[in-house]
Structure 1
Amino acid sequence: MKKTTKLLTGALALLLVSAIFVAADHIDAPSSTATTSDIADFFAFEPSEGSDNTVFAVDLQSDVLPELPFGSFDEDVLTEINIDLDGDLIEDRVIQAIARDGRMYFFGPASPAQTGLSSQVLTDSPLGDVEISDATPVVETTASGVSLFAGPRQDPFFFDFFQFNAVISPELDSAVGGFLPSDEATDTFDGANTLSIIIEIPNSLLGSPTATNPLGLTVYKTWVTTNRKQ
């Protein structure tokens, strides 16, 4: 299956079979149906200017309307943050996250067992784990200074979904005048949740960044994939 990708310029008691995971397709067309492996958003940033840490935040698609439950992490889906350190757009380090019995387990950063469309859980490189949050956020910080979170977070984008559909549907008269000004528009997804996996990690564990963004800042080349157990 096609790889689902978003781009941006102590021992554990957990026992995991070293299963092969094959990447799943992303909801990238109106006819696609959202799945538990759908990547909604991916963010990578410094938590503050000049910080020696990097934050990675992955939002997985869930029920998009506020009145619907936010669902749960799929235990057959491996989420993988990929980091390219030499500019060849092939992952040199990966951070993995997978849910088991109400907790999210993290592995890496480490060299992947294989690159490309398939992945294996790096059970020999445990990073830490955290209880999957519900109403109360839970953050776990490891001895190596890595902070971990997994659970529902409010959708980060303001989007007037119904007015957007009206604008792109010329047969509807409701779109006269185009998009509404911000004080009249409705945030359709206000109160809706995504399922988020967030990790703040010292750069010293990742390796040295080699890319430069349009602002002239040195950054990591990084992207995220989801992989479904086969």
Structure 2
Amino acid sequence: MLCEDMMQEHLGIKDEDSPKARTKVFNEYYYYSGISEYNSKNQICSYATAFSFGSFIARNFGGAELVQKISKNSLVDNDSITDAVNSLNGTKYTYDDLFEKYLLALFGDSTYTHNKDADCTLEYNSGDYSSNPYEYPMTAYNIFDSEYSFSANGKKYYGPAIFYANAKSVDLRPENGILIHGIGTFSSSSLSVSFSSGTSAEKIYLIIK
């Protein structure tokens, strides 16, 4: 999907016909599939979650050149992604570091976001592009736009679904599954939050917006 993403302009594909169109499914049903999971019962959700993470990584850490490094290094899976990001950006991120930044994007962070163009550092300058090189653009898109909104219980929602205390019970998916829970709002200078015990494989991120 990232290859289709970076070739979108060359192929003449509109956003609504590109992998970006999977964002509506991601926003409404991301919790049905982990990022690196292929859920045979919810393949559409697996495609949506995989593209959401991949497109975020590309737009924030190197665009098509990052995709090239991922495809050429000697590693696989999360190690391949992390190695490519670090070798291209001169960083020492772990996969968990990248995952945390991705979660910020799901809350509308302005620094780490899908809503910016990826760097265009690669060029294709042969054939029809000899005088005007193709730069593999991976353009910005806002996951909170109305075109990616969804309706539930008679209301319209923008961005990834947020579960509250009275929400239905949903199991956390394996292979980097996500569940976003809303605690509420507060106006005092301090707040105490308590969590019950979980498994060692689970991580809880507390984001204050």
Asked whether the two chains share a fold, i.e. TM above 0.5, the reply is no
Greater share of helix: 2
With normalisation by structure 1, the TM-score equals 0.22
Greater RCO, 1 or 2 (C-alpha within 8 Å, sep 6+): 1
With normalisation by structure 2, the TM-score equals 0.24
Greater share of strand: 1
